[in-house]
Chains A and B, each alone.
Chain A
Amino acid sequence: MAEILLRTEGLAKNFGAVQACRNLSLDIAQGEIHALIGPNGAGKTTVLNQLSGDLMPDAGRVIFDGNDITRRPPHQRARLGLARSYQITSVFEQLTVKENLLLALQAHRGHSFRFWKKAVDDPYLSKQVKPAIEQMGLRERRHVRAGQLSHGEKRQLEVGMALAGNPKLLLLDEPMAGMGPGGAVELTKLILKIRQGVTILLVEHDMDAVFTLADRISVLVYGELVATGTPREIRGDAAVRQAYLGDEAWDETGDETGG
């Protein structure tokens, strides 16, 4: 297997009596798209939050690119090359598309205690922001306030912002959430396009997208890892089948592949 980019060892998090994450040990290999799936309430977002630093684990370690980042605050993790997008779209609605991307680029380019020069006049930023806008297919919309974008465009912008500054690992939290079928296909294409340069951990409910995109899938049930494997292995896994029993999303996947 390729080099391990991110590894968790015995990660645990409780919310009161609820064990949202139990003794989770997960490896993400360099260059793969690794999907994290599980029924509602399985603790997928809790795992992402612990990786991005929005939540501190109660026990265990997170090792990213050779560094123990368990206790690092989010902004330091981001600077090490760990970027995330959020389940609830969180682009900056009052800023324009361009300003949103500038902001994301700025984060990786020195400090921003620059009070005088216009941000758009910064030679580095202006050179980088153009291809970023192009890649996300938002050229026509670059001067529009992000709040006025359609839902799908916001998700594209969100991914674009996470990609700015060339992260090593991208955590995508349900990028397809709330998208119509057409939008989901568009976004799946976009993710396939960007995967060249970046390792992706994908949390997603849309099973079509998961099975199209993922190289490996990990299945989480009640905070516990029940299986990790290729899409083919996961499809045939009895424990996974059990966990998803009666879940429509899963049944559809099964039907399409003939069980």
Chain B
Amino acid sequence: MLYLKNRKLICLAAGALLLLLLPPLARLAGEPYLVSLFSRILIYALAAISLDLILGFGGMVSLGHAAFFGIGAYVVSILSFHSFEATPLITWPFTLQGHTQALVAWPAAVILSALLAAVIGALSLRTSGMHFIMITLAFAQMLYYFFVSLEAYGGDDGLSLFSRNTLPVLDLGQDTHFYYICLALLFIFLFLAHRLVHSRFGIVIRGTRENEKRMQALGFPTFRYKLACFVIAGAGAGLAGALIANQTEYVSPGLMHWTRSGEILIMVLLGGTGTLIGPVLGAATLLLLEEVLAIYTEHWMVYLGPFLILVVLFAKRGIYGLFAGREQDHG
């Protein structure tokens, strides 16, 4: 056991070190493009961990997680759009101006995603299983079509950012600075999620996944706990959305399309549900495979599909399970 624990710590430390050293290594290798690719990986990893909190730990299979990802992205973009246009966002009941500062825009994205998750969760969590999958999917598609028809912000064509958000001291316009911000936020989120999973709240959530009726017999009003978990996951996805808007400097309704939810779901399944490191591995594997396969063939999906099926069939706890074995830990 102790040996296993040490090995795991060493693996984690090596992974963290690699991520920390990536920008200088990429420059040495003459592939600066890697920095923005890995920023994307970090951002999707964040979204995937947030989904795993409800999916792997809470047992709530949502196919609408991209809704929160998209909302986070749009909040940042719309604030930035109004700031550059120098027009107010709303004038009633109070005047709200646009903003380009990350310290304002990102928390706003997180809070609005959380609020949206509270509303969607309060309605969807009255169902479970297949119904829950369908209703979360329906909500996300509603939002998708809402933004498709929202001509003021580009509708179907999406919305370009004039520049990335600003932070004191750091310059997010530089890919390296932006990369380290993403990395820091991912580490913080991982740490918070780790604490959460082992807290009283975490045990309640894991118990609810297994047997909700029994939890109620023990005296837990499970609906509230599930809703809280759903809101936390929504907030995490919103933060990831705010980052992706900055990374690509462009947002479109496609960010909240159900296929995007599916993609994040695949990252979680691929990496290992019910673990925290798994979704990070899943995001990295999926995006890197996409990247590599696309060099050789334009029909890369044909190769990716069978690979996913094999992993899901034979590695019950995904890629993380292959490394960590069947021991029940939470990464």
- Interface residues in chain A, defined as those with a beta carbon under 8 Å from any beta carbon in chain B: 52, 54, 73-76, 78-79, 83-84, 86, 90, 92-95, 99, 102-104, 106-108, 112-120, 122, 125, 145, 161, 165
Question: Are A115 and B201 in contact, CB atoms less than 8 angstroms apart?
Answer: yes
Cβ of B2 within 8 Å of any chain A Cβ, yes or no, is no
Question: Are A145 and B328 in contact, CB atoms less than 8 angstroms apart?
Answer: yes
Question: Are B216 and A95 in contact, CB atoms less than 8 angstroms apart?
Answer: no
Chain B interface SS verdict (over half): helix
Question: Are A114 and B201 in contact, CB atoms less than 8 angstroms apart?
Answer: yes
Question: Are A115 and B203 in contact, CB atoms less than 8 angstroms apart?
Answer: no
Q: A113-B228, A114-B199, A114-B201 are in contact. Are A95 and B218 (CB under 8 A)?
A: no
- Chain A to chain B contacts (Cβ below 8 Å), 11 pairs: A54-B217, A78-B216, A78-B218, A92-B210, A93-B210, A103-B204, A103-B215, A104-B218, A116-B196, A117-B199, A117-B200
Residues of B within 8 A of A103 (CB): 203-204, 207, 215, 218
Question: Are B210 and A73 in contact, CB atoms less than 8 angstroms apart?
Answer: no
- Interface residues in chain B, defined as those with a beta carbon under 8 Å from any beta carbon in chain A: 195-196, 198-204, 206-207, 209-211, 213-222, 225, 228, 328
Q: A118-B198, A119-B203, A122-B200 are in contact. Are A90 and B211 (CB under 8 A)?
A: yes
Residues of B within 8 A of A76 (CB): 219
Least Cβ–Cβ distance between A15 and chain B, in angstroms: 18
Question: Are B206 and A94 in contact, CB atoms less than 8 angstroms apart?
Answer: yes
Residues of B within 8 A of A113 (CB): 201, 225, 228
Question: Are A119 and B216 in contact, CB atoms less than 8 angstroms apart?
Answer: no
Question: Are A75 and B219 in contact, CB atoms less than 8 angstroms apart?
Answer: yes
Least Cβ–Cβ distance between A147 and chain B, in angstroms: 9
Residues of A within 8 A of B222 (CB): 75
Least Cβ–Cβ distance between A82 and chain B, in angstroms: 9
Q: A112-B200, A112-B201, A116-B195 are in contact. Are A92 and B219 (CB under 8 A)?
A: no
Least Cβ–Cβ distance between B309 and chain A, in angstroms: 25
Least Cβ–Cβ distance between B279 and chain A, in angstroms: 18
Question: Are A75 and B220 in contact, CB atoms less than 8 angstroms apart?
Answer: yes
Chain B residue, CB-CB nearest to A147: B328
Q: A115-B199, A116-B199, A118-B198 are in contact. Are A78 and B217 (CB under 8 A)?
A: yes
Q: A54-B217, A94-B328 are in contact. Are A119 and B206 (CB under 8 A)?
A: no
13 more A-B contacts (CB under 8 A) besides A78-B218, A103-B215, A106-B204? Answer: A73-B216, A76-B219, A78-B219, A83-B218, A84-B217, A90-B211, A90-B213, A94-B206, A113-B228, A115-B199, A115-B201, A119-B203, A125-B200
Question: Are A75 and B216 in contact, CB atoms less than 8 angstroms apart?
Answer: yes
**How many residue-residue contacts, CB under 8 A, span A and B?**
96
Residues of B within 8 A of A125 (CB): 200
Question: Are A75 and B221 in contact, CB atoms less than 8 angstroms apart?
Answer: yes
Give the docked Cα–Cα distance between A119 and B200 (Å): 5
Q: A92-B210, A94-B328 are in contact. Are A114 and B200 (CB under 8 A)?
A: yes
Question: Are B203 and A102 in contact, CB atoms less than 8 angstroms apart?
Answer: yes
Least Cβ–Cβ distance between B42 and chain A, in angstroms: 23
Least Cβ–Cβ distance between B224 and chain A, in angstroms: 8
Least Cβ–Cβ distance between A240 and chain B, in angstroms: 30
Give the docked Cα–Cα distance between A162 and B218 (Å): 7
Question: Are B217 and A52 in contact, CB atoms less than 8 angstroms apart?
Answer: yes
Question: Are A79 and B219 in contact, CB atoms less than 8 angstroms apart?
Answer: yes
Question: Are B195 and A115 in contact, CB atoms less than 8 angstroms apart?
Answer: yes
Residues of A within 8 A of B228 (CB): 113
Give the docked Cα–Cα distance between A108 and B206 (Å): 18
Cross-interface CB contact of A106 among B203, B211, B328, cutoff 8 Å: B203
Q: A107-B218, A107-B220, A119-B202 are in contact. Are A92 and B211 (CB under 8 A)?
A: yes
Least Cβ–Cβ distance between B324 and chain A, in angstroms: 15
Give the docked Cα–Cα distance between A78 and B199 (Å): 22
Q: A95-B207, A115-B195 are in contact. Are A90 and B214 (CB under 8 A)?
A: yes
**Which of A54, A73, A119 counts the most chain B CB atoms within 10 A?**
A119
The list of the 6 closest CB pairs from A to B, nearest first, reads: A78-B219, A107-B219, A112-B200, A107-B218, A114-B200, A74-B216
Residues of A within 8 A of B218 (CB): 75, 78, 83, 103-104, 107, 161
Question: Are A54 and B213 in contact, CB atoms less than 8 angstroms apart?
Answer: yes
Give the docked Cα–Cα distance between A85 and B195 (Å): 31
Chain B residue, CB-CB nearest to A117: B199
Chain B residue, CB-CB nearest to A167: B219
Least Cβ–Cβ distance between B102 and chain A, in angstroms: 25
Q: A54-B217, A75-B219, A116-B195 are in contact. Are A95 and B206 (CB under 8 A)?
A: yes
Q: A94-B328, A106-B204, A118-B199 are in contact. Are A112 and B225 (CB under 8 A)?
A: yes
Residues of A within 8 A of B221 (CB): 73, 75
Cross-interface CB contact of B203 among A75, A79, A99, A116, cutoff 8 Å: A99
Residues of A within 8 A of B199 (CB): 114-119
Question: Are A92 and B201 in contact, CB atoms less than 8 angstroms apart?
Answer: no
Residues of B within 8 A of A104 (CB): 218
Give the docked Cα–Cα distance between A93 and B225 (Å): 20
Least Cβ–Cβ distance between A221 and chain B, in angstroms: 27
Give the docked Cα–Cα distance between A106 and B328 (Å): 22
Give the docked Cα–Cα distance between A84 and B211 (Å): 15
**Which of A54, A74, A165 counts the most chain B CB atoms within 10 A?**
A74
